[in-house]
Amino acid sequence: MSIFTLTYIYGGPQEVLAEHRPAHRAYLRELNEQGRNLASGPLGDDAALIIFSADSQREVEEIVAKDPLVVHGAVTEHEIQPWNVTIGSVGGAPQGS
């Protein structure tokens, strides 16, 4: 398993964001229980950061595609980056070398 960061930019209508945020959070809670979503939270008012444990970037893309905020157009941009934790830990992910 590798660690990936996912940054969301919310650019869709605010009412769509508000309507689907509960389903989005339930989805992320489910992923957390599975050990996939290691940590997540807002970055200001129009963005969010999610830390994933996954086998590949493609797997993270598949997870993103099912997120209710993405499905309903509240997320207008996202970026996935591999992340090598070198000091500390996130959600139990071991630190790198």
Instruction: Give me 42's structure tokens.
Output: 């807002």
Cα–Cα distance list, 8 to 41, 44, 75 (Å): 10, 11, 6
Closest CA to 67 of 2, 22, 1: 22
> Do residues 74 and 22 lie in contact, with contact meaning Cβ atoms separated by under 8 Å?
no
Cβ neighbours of residue 67 closer than 8 Å, sequence gap 6 or more:
24, 27, 28, 75
Cβ neighbours of residue 39 closer than 8 Å, sequence gap 6 or more:
50, 51, 90, 91
Asked if the model's pLDDT at residue 89 lies above 70, the reply is yes
Confidence (pLDDT) at 91: 66
Q: What is the mean pLDDT of residues 60-66?
A: 97
Q: What is the mean pLDDT of residues 46-64?
A: 96
